[in-house]
Amino acid sequence: MSVQTQGELVTRLAAPGRGDTHCPYCALQCGMRLTGTTVESRDFPTNRGGLCQKGWTAAELLRTPARLTTPLVRVDGELRPASWDTAVDLVAAKLARSRDVHGADSVAVFGGGGLTNEKAYLLGKFARVALGTAQIDYNGRFCMSSAAAAGMRAFGLDRGMPFPIDDLARSAAVLLVGANPAETMPPFLQHLTGTLIVIDPRRTATAERAHLHLRPRPGTDLALALGILHAVVADGHYRGDYAAERTAGFDAAWRIAAAWWPERVERVTGVAASDQRRAAALLAGARTAHILTGRGTEQHSNGTDSVGAWINLALALGLPGTPGSGYGCLTGQGNGQGGREHGQKADQLPGYRKITDPDARAYVASVWGVPPESLPGPGRSAYELLDSLGRDDGPRALLVFGSNVVVSAPNAGHIADRLSTLDLLVVADFVLSETAALADVVFPVTQWAEEGGTMTNLEGRVLLRSTAIAAPEGVRSDLDLLRDLAIRLGQPEQRFPADPEVVFDELRRASRGGPADYSGVTYQRLRDGDQLHWPVPTTEHPGTPRMFLDSFAHPDGRARFAAVDYTGPAEPVDDEYPLLATTGRVLQHYQSGAQTRLVAELADAEPEVFVQVHPDTAARVGVGDRGRARVVSRRGETEAVVRCDPTMRLDTVFLPFHFPGAQRANLLTNPALDPYSRMPEFKVCAVRLEPS
């Protein structure tokens, strides 16, 4: 695979200074500086000195009164303070007993896309070596696993954005599908300077900025992609020369798309055929263009095929691997990219290796100093893992790091019930999240500014996060906790180091030769300001900001069109549940809200869940603006404040998913899974609206 290295980019950033760090939230990983606990912005390629409201208020997390500073152990139904030794001894003994009596897979691990690369790596190693379990997955499965699966299928390699973010600022046209960066990552908008086409069922803050906004019925993204591809071909925009030289599989993909003429697509999606053709013409007529996908088109039971359809459109226009153009995915969580590359995903080993590959198993086992046959095979995906808890063939103990599944998982009421059946629930967190509140043991761990480590942002750039302030007394890092547990489970002390740089050096070795090769990345290079986008196969290699310029990662060097067809959402509407509910984020909150709900400025701005609905739809069921309503699905119900919005589709309601308890939007959502990525269908389910 030929790539472009740093060439056209500035080869160094200013070396990080004291207190220089990165925002604890999204994958933009904006550069910031902490002076004490005061945030200052700093110039960095992703944010160019800007921060959003969440970033500016991030330091409030460092002094929240809700901070945990001592382990908690449940005694007689209540969580009570305990010493670290007492808590670690208790957990290790119960894990060992479960493993000995019920087998290694009776213990499971659930990680997070916000963990540093070092934590993600050591967590995967801990599960497979210290516990011997196959049952490990992470909340990134809920984030961009469909885009990852589609990218692997199309390009042979998954890196969310296989080009630097700077390229977008020079793009003449950008098609943004299912993403609302004006609220989820506001500094990103400054990179969108060309013609902007937004595809979203809602008139979001991002859609307000668009030159063209297409509003499909929720769950019909794939049909819309087929219609625009049809228009590209029928109207003479297809890049046959590019496809013949650099791709395979167009004929099979076209046999399906040929039947999806724009007028047929209009009947399914509600998007005018003329707008489909206009979108095709705008992209085809642009000197450079990009197609970017987000959660809105990925979080479906056909999410891999939906993303594949947008990649088909990009390939038909000749965008991927073309200088100044391309296809990319907007990674959501802070380390969503690195989090899945180094081993906390059920089917992967470090370096983005497949756990079923004998050569990969042998190599990683040699780095870890264990026999290859001792490594377990692939385990259950995230929702399947949570759904199996406490069942006859499922785990009886669960360790959770960096995730709040009681709020973030689909069909959340059911998942809370499954957690209650466990013999042991252990949570590592810095506050008593909704999941931690259910635990048998809670460990207080360091926050973002109190620890060192690396993150990999949405463009595949490896970043060094340095310790900016000291952690409170009594708080330890996740790496310390994993080391202490591993030793008590019989592992040699040196096998599980707790120093982030030592862990990263081992990660480098474990990733060497893999698709996500970090072996040439060192802390010193990052301290010196080197811009390093993986793969970086040697310490002399300048990094790979732009991928696929000459060939793709499949053995024949060609990208693959996907022969995908539209089937619709897993759960259709009916007379009992006549509306479509979709979920998402708002400006002030992040993910499950466990962090942002602790910041007064953010909580005051958005204190509770709301349901956004068209005034006519609200009036038909007898609810009014600023009143309260119940949103009911086949799985549960949520009570929310009504926000009437005349820009909403008549058939659609929207709820943010950041709120706990009875306000959880994920009490409604459908856990139907994509067959390839195992992504749940967060973005559409059938509901009814009724007065509260």
Domain boundary (314, 330, 346) is at 330
Domain of residue 593 covers 579-691
- The neighbouring-strand residues paired with 290 are 174, 326
pLDDT one-digit tens code per residue, 374-431: 999 999 999 999 999 999 999 999 999 999 999 999 999 999 999 999 999 999 999 9
The C-alpha atoms of residue 592 and residue 535 are separated, in whole angstroms, by: 32
Q: Convert 209-235 to b/e letters by CB count within 10 Å (16 or more is b).
A: ebebbbbbbbbbbbbbbbbbbbbbbee
451 and 339 in a single domain? The answer is yes
Domain of residue 676, CATH code: 2.40.40.20
Res 12: pLDDT: 61
Provide the pairing of β-strand 441-444 with 424-429.
parallel
In this structure, the answer to whether residues 218 and 310 fall within a common structural domain is yes
The Cα-based distances of 574 to 98, 105, 258, 287, 613 in angstroms read 46, 41, 30, 45, 18
**In this structure, are 323 and 397 located in the same domain?**
no
91 and 182 housed in the same domain: no
Shared domain check, 187 and 98: no
pLDDT digits (tens, 9 = 90+) for 1-33: 444 443 444 346 666 666 889 999 999 999 999
Least Cα distance to 686 among 617, 620, 618, 635 occurs for: 635
User: What is the residue-averaged pLDDT of the chain?
Assistant: 95
Final residue of a domain: which of 508, 527, 546? 527
CA gap 434, 416 in Å, rounded: 10
**pLDDT tens-digit series, residues 626-672:** 999 999 999 999 999 999 999 999 999 999 999 999 999 999 999 99
Q: Are residues 348 and 452 in the same domain?
A: yes
How many CA atoms are closer than 13 Å to the CA of 644, on its beta-carbon side? 15
Q: Is residue 112 part of a domain?
A: yes
359 and 446 together in one domain: yes
Any domain includes 52: no
Q: Is 97 inside a domain boundary?
A: yes
Shared-domain flag, residues 392 and 494: yes
Residues 186 and 302 in one domain: yes
Residues 190 and 314 in one domain: yes
CATH number of the domain residue 425 falls in = 3.40.50.740
Looking at the domain assignment, is residue 341 inside a domain? yes
Count of structural domains, the chain: 3
Q: What is the pLDDT of residue 331?
A: 87
Question: What pLDDT does 375 receive?
Answer: 98
The DSSP annotation for 620-638 comes to HTT--TTSEEEEE-SS-EE
Query: What CATH number should be reported for the domain holding residue 187?
Result: 3.40.228.10
330, 360, 382: which is the final residue of a domain?
330
- Residue 545 within a domain: no
Other Cβ atoms less than 10 A from the Cβ of 562: the count is 19
Task: Say how many residues make up the chain.
Answer: 692
Closest CA to 681 of 43, 197, 15, 221: 221
Low-confidence ranges of the chain (pLDDT < 70): 1-18
Whether residue 34 lies inside any domain: the answer is: no
DSSP string, 139-198: GGGGTTHHHHHHHHHHHSS--S-SS-THHHHT-SEEEEES--HHHHSGGGGGG--SEEEE
Residues 345, 262: one domain?
no
Residue 375 located in a structural domain: yes
Helix axes 221-234 and 273-285, enclosed angle (nearest 10):
60
Instruction: Evaluate whether residue 33 is within a structural domain.
Output: no
Q: Do residues 316 and 227 both lie within one domain?
A: yes
- Token reading at 530: 């080197």
Q: Residue 50 and residue 52: Cα distance in Å, rounded?
A: 7
